[in-house]
Amino acid sequence: NTIYRIREPSSIHDQSVNVDGVLEFSWDQHDCETLLVDPRGEVYVVSKVGPGHHGKFVHLPGSAWNQHHHVWVNDGVYLPITASSNSPVGGDISPSGTELLLKTYGHVYYWSIPDQNYEAHIHNYPQSLPYHAERQGEAVCWKVDGSGFYTLSEGANSVLYFHRRL
């Protein structure tokens, strides 16, 4: 598994960007579609698992960047939710760092993380949030002001849904 870090460009157009960092890691999980970055720049991944299993939430150490070899990361927390399909498929940490969303094909799960200690809170059962069901919804992200979240399905002509905070 390899993650490439780039500096966000000031404008988006047809351009090349330079790689700012490379993080290579190995772990005991088979698949992963969820990468989370907190406001401090710390990186987390969540494994995608089959029905009846529990995804694993793992912090990738900052010291692993640019090591030029794979770093083994196995310490993590198994999610309290049981997958009903191959999931989770997306997630986001709020701009304040105190809230976390994970998306499965049938749910958007919410955790309050008041102290930004994700591993200490992710084992608690989350709240399932209401949202507009999608054909193959795989993306979720917070609105920058925290007033709600967006979801988006895979595929052409997909609708971007905004879900206001209740």
pLDDT tens string 134-155: 888 889 999 999 999 999 999 8
CB 46 within 8 A of CB 32: yes
pLDDT at site 10: 87
CB 13 within 8 A of CB 5: no
Domain ranges, ordered by start, for the chain = 2-164
C-alpha–C-alpha distance, residues 155 and 163, integer Å: 20
pLDDT at site 103: 94
The listed CATH number (2.120.10.30, 3.40.50.1220, 3.20.20.30, 2.30.42.10) that belongs to domain 2-164 = 2.120.10.30
pLDDT at site 2: 94
pLDDT at site 152: 94
Which of 60, 54, 53 is closest to 22 using CA atoms? 60
Local confidence pLDDT in tens for the 166 residues of the chain: 999 999 888 888 888 889 999 999 999 888 899 999 999 999 999 998 888 889 999 999 999 999 999 999 988 999 998 877 778 999 999 999 999 999 998 899 999 999 999 999 999 999 999 988 888 888 999 999 999 999 999 989 999 999 998 7
